[in-house]
């Protein structure tokens, strides 16, 4: 490989991209050390500048594309590149799907679990959720003089990309950013930074404003007028994303229907990012549930994404550590006449997992942990005798680690259904069924 002279603070070299890594960056090698270069495809030959160390390798800045590899496409979004929301719009559809479908087998392989021969019924084709379906977003805010910037952070930066377009969001959700930007430009002081968490519910928008100071009386009056005009059914405020939100305006509870049960999620609470993705995951969970099961545990239940669909077939104990999410679930269960079929328990399953003996009363179990997975809980499940375990995951890497624990505990991996509801991103969700 021909090396170039040092220039601009970093060593330059010619690099050939050999693969796309699990985070969406192209990977080449310099003396055996990986160099990660964003927005590249396998087969690209580039002049790059080494920027910084990254996990035993380097990040590389592409200076010039010398030879183009196969599978490159024109990114459809004008913000692609600076915006950190999408990593792979430069791939054509065929190469993007092939890369996405390889994520799970590669993660299993890193745990010594080859996909071929491991699954009794196979790795199913990925369900691809189209762009333009994301119903929830957290927008960063920054007041610059008389202008308000609203958008997503730049890649590896706290700087903002002020959105003029977004192909991921539902049209209605993106349309709301126009009047919201105009309103906040009038209300927020110069130099302020904050966030706006928006959910497009079934009956209107749920908006959580995150700013250092609460809105004063004049701001509340302006927010009330905005909510009426823009179909915002609930508006809340919090000083940061970790604090409990304070209600500002509530014209109605924002509704999401899980199974046949309407639920009002807490302000800023986690819900699946798209209706289509949620439907695909729920369908796979219900398919994995054996007929005639009497008692089911729904671990990391949130505000009931799977609980209420499961409750139409069995008695369900929903276990969740977040008090606000569990309160929303329990309120919906009581209002829907499901206080018998649905029971709840608040418990931090990362720090205090349900023990194998406690799981002996259920015939099937669903667990849907956060991105880091559920190592401790998976170990207890592996030691239990629950006949059917249904794993839901948003991380192939943590799923593969937890799956290995279950397999070492004597479970068989029947099948996996991948679901891609994060177009052009390095995320992949899945449902897997394990059985004894």
Locus of tokens 């794993």? 391
Sheet containing 204-210, strands listed edge to edge, beginning at the edge strand earlier in sequence:
160-162, 147-153, 136-144, 193-201, 204-210, 232-238, 246-250
CB atoms within 10 A of CB 281: 23
Q: Is 394 a catalytic residue?
A: yes
Q: Find the helix packing angle between 171-187 and 217-230, rounded to 10°.
A: 160
8 Å CB contact between 325 and 266: yes
Q: How many helices (H) and strands (E) does the chain have?
A: 8, 24
What are the structure tokens assigned to 37, written together?
A: 């270069």
Catalytic residue among 83, 166, 303, 394: 394
User: What is d(CA 186, CA 248) in angstroms, rounded to the nearest whole number?
Assistant: 18
Cβ atoms of residues 324 and 266 within 8 Å: yes
Strand partners, 393: 430
Measured CA to CA, the distance from residue 201 to residue 272 in angstroms comes to: 12
Rounded Cα distance between 88 and 131, Å, is 13
Are 98 and 392 in contact, with CB atoms under 8 Å apart?
A: no
Residue 298 structure tokens: 């729904």
For the beta carbon of residue 188, count every other beta carbon within 10 angstroms.
20
**For 169-205, what is the HEC assignment?**
ECHHHHHHHHHHHHHHHHHCCCCCEEEEEEEEECCEE
CA 169/CA 86 separation, integer angstroms: 12
- Residues assigned a catalytic role: 394
């Amino acid at each position: 490989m021909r090396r170039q002279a040092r220039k601009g603070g970093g060593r330059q070299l010619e690099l050939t991209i050999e693969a796309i890594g699990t985070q969406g960056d192209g990977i080449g090698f310099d003396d055996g050390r990986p160099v990660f270069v964003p927005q590249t495809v396998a087969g690209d030959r580039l002049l790059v500048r080494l920027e910084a160390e990254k996990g035993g390798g380097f990040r590389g800045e592409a200076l010039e594309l010398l030879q183009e590899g196969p599978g490159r496409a024109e990114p459809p979004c004008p913000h692609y590149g600076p915006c950190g929301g999408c990593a792979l719009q430069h791939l054509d559809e065929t190469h993007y799907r092939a890369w996405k479908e390889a994520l799970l087998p590669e993660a299993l392989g890193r745990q010594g679990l080859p996909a071929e021969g491991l699954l009794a019924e196979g790795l199913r084709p990925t369900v691809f959720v189209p762009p333009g379906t994301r119903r929830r977003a957290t927008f960063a805010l920054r007041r610059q003089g008389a202008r308000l910037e609203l958008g997503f952070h730049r890649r590896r930066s706290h700087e903002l990309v002020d959105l003029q377009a977004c192909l991921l969001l539902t049209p209605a959700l993106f349309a709301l950013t126009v009047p919201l930007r105009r309103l906040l430009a009038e209300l927020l002081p110069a130099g302020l930074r904050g966030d706006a968490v928006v959910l497009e519910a079934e009956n209107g928008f749920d908006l959580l404003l995150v700013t250092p100071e609460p809105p004063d009386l004049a701001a509340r009056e302006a927010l009330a007028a905005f909510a009426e005009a823009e179909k915002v059914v609930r508006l809340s405020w919090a000083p940061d994303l970790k604090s409990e939100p304070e209600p500002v305006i509530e014209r109605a509870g924002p509704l999401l229907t899980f199974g046949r049960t309407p639920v009002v999620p807490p302000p800023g609470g986690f819900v699946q990012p798209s209706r289509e993705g949620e439907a695909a995951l729920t369908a796979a969970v219900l398919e994995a549930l054996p007929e005639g099961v009497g008692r089911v545990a729904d671990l990391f239940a949130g505000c009931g994404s799977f609980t209420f669909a499961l409750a139409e077939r069995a008695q369900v104990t929903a276990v969740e550590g977040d008090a606000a999410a569990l309160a929303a679930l329990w309120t919906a269960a009581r209002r829907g006449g499901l206080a018998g079929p649905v029971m709840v328990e608040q418990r931090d399953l990362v720090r205090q997992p349900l023990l194998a003996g406690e799981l002996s009363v259920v015939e099937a179990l669903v667990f849907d942990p956060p991105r880091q997975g559920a190592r401790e809980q998976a170990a207890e499940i592996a030691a239990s005798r629950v006949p059917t375990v249904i794993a839901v995951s948003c991380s192939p890497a943590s799923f593969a680690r937890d799956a290995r624990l279950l397999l070492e505990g004597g479970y068989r991996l029947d099948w996996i259904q991948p679901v891609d509801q994060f177009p052009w991103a390095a995320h992949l969700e899945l449902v897997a069924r394990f059985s004894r």
